[in-house]
Structures are given as structure tokens and as C-alpha cells.
């Protein structure tokens, strides 16, 4: 008997390595706005959280400045940046196996809905997922928790018993904390962009270092 029946994946740093595209687009936006480019360590912090939050937290922008910076970022990202990206080795095999084993698969990401769908279609991953949920540009769904709640709703995970059989997989604390907010378990992955100890400190239920360990962990728990 399966311990988990529903598996929800983050996108950036979990399904795909999006570092190149995101960093280039952050640099593009900051250059265009005449802002100083931060160091590599701070640039990597843009991967994962909502962009508006990153521009505010990392660059000290006001809410209005961050919204404008995000719009400038998307000038490049929506044309070029979203495809400067690659699927992690072994990920499609993992999704294929879980799909064959009749797990209910979904994506929940802070990336807006349109580029999320385009990326998954570009890499031919979209067919593995019953539900794909990104953030909304009107700010009605702009936190990781809100995105995950919508994914759970669309999946029909609407009771405590069903939530006990749902697992969120992601590479940053936002995925782990969002899972806690939603009342589901979390599996943190360290092949993405989490700093050392971040996943432990935020209470991930399970932690793996590499893609193959995801399937091993899910099978071990079944």
C-alpha cells in the first residue's frame, strides 16, 4: 500500500535547472534600471521565491520598484530566458515511473502560469502531470502556499485523510514551509539551490541529495 498517492513537484531547482536563464534575466533587469549587480551568492537567491519578494529583499527595492523590475525581467525571460534551462538528469525517467505506478502528479511553482506551461511543454514533461499551477499575475495567487493550495484543490485533495497521502517535493525552504501550511509532507532535494542546512532547519520530512533518491525514498515508504 502506498504511503503517498499524490506527488507535487516544484519547478525551478527541482524538475529543471533554471539558473542560467534566471540569472541572465536578473542581470538584464538590474542593468537596464541602472542598479548595481550583486555577487553570485545573492544572485542565486533569486531562484525559487517570487521575484517581487527577491527584488525587495535582496536589492532593497520598494514594492513599486520591485514590481517594475519584475516587468523588466520578463521582457527578456518570456522570450529567451525561460528556455535557458535544462531538465535534471534522471528526472523524466522518475516521472515516467511514477506515472506508470499511477501516482497523481502535479506541479506547484511560484513562476507565473504561462511560462511554467511553456517550459514543461518545451521539455515534453507536461503530459506527466494531471495539474500544473503557477502564480497569477494579478497577485491573487502569489505565495507558495497559495499556489500549493490551488494545486491540491484541483487534484481533489480536500480532506485530512487525502492530505496525509500527499507529498511536496522541492529544493527551497518555501516548498517545505508551504507544505507545512497546507498540512502535507515534504521531501527536500539538495541538488537544487538550497543553502547548506536550509531544508533541515525548516523541517523537511525527508531529504535527498540526488534525483534517483526521490524514487528510492517513495518506494521505501510504500
Q: Which of 113, 152, 117 is nearest to 135 (CA)?
A: 113
* SS3 assignment for the chain: CCCCCEEEECCECCCEECHHHHHHHHHHHHHHCCCCCCCHHHHHCCCCCCHHHHHHHHHCCCHHHHHHHHHHHHHHHCCCHHHCCEECCCHHHHHHHHHHCCCEEEEEEEEEHHHHHHHHHHCCCHHHCCEEEEECCCCCCCCHHHHHHHHHHHHCCCCHHHHCCEEEEECCHHHHHHHHHHCCEEEEECCCCCCCCHHHHCCCCEEECCCHHHHHHHHHHC
| Residue 10: active-site member | yes
Residues in CB range of 128: below 8 A, 6 or more apart? 95, 96, 98, 99, 105
> Which candidate in 10, 12, 53, 171 is catalytic?
10
Q: Yes or no: say if 187 and 206 are a contact pair by the CB < 8 Å rule.
A: yes
| Residues known to be catalytic | 10
Amino acid at each position: 500500500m502506498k504511503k503517498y498517492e499524490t506527488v507535487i513537484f516544484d519547478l525551478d531547482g527541482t524538475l529543471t535547472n533554471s539558473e542560467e536563464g534566471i540569472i541572465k534575466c536578473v542581470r538584464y533587469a538590474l542593468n537596464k534600471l541602472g542598479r548595481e549587480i550583486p555577487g553570485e551568492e545573492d544572485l542565486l537567491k533569486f531562484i525559487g521565491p517570487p521575484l517581487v519578494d527577491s527584488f525587495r529583499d535582496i536589492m532593497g527595492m520598494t514594492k513599486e520598484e520591485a514590481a517594475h523590475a519584475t516587468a523588466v525581467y520578463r521582457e527578456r525571460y518570456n522570450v529567451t530566458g525561460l528556455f535557458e534551462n535544462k531538465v535534471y538528469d534522471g528526472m523524466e525517467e522518475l516521472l515516467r515511473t511514477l506515472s506508470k505506478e499511477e501516482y497523481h502528479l502535479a506541479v506547484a511553482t511560484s513562476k507565473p502560469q504561462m511560462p511554467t506551461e511553456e517550459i514543461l511543454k518545451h521539455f515534453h514533461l507536461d503530459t506527466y502531470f494531471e495539474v500544473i499551477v503557477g502564480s497569477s499575475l494579478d497577485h491573487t495567487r502569489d505565495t507558495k502556499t497559495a499556489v500549493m493550495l490551488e494545486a491540491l484543490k484541483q487534484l481533489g485533495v480536500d480532506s485530512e485523510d487525502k492530505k496525509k497521502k500527499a507529498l511536496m517535493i522541492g529544493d527551497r525552504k518555501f516548498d517545505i514551509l508551504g507544505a507545512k501550511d497546507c498540512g502535507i509532507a515534504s521531501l527536500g532535494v539538495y541538488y537544487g539551490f538550497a543553502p547548506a542546512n536550509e531544508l533541515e532547519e525548516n523541517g523537511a520530512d525527508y531529504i535527498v541529495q540526488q534525483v534517483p533518491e526521490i524514487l528510492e525514498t517513495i518506494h521505501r515508504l510504500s
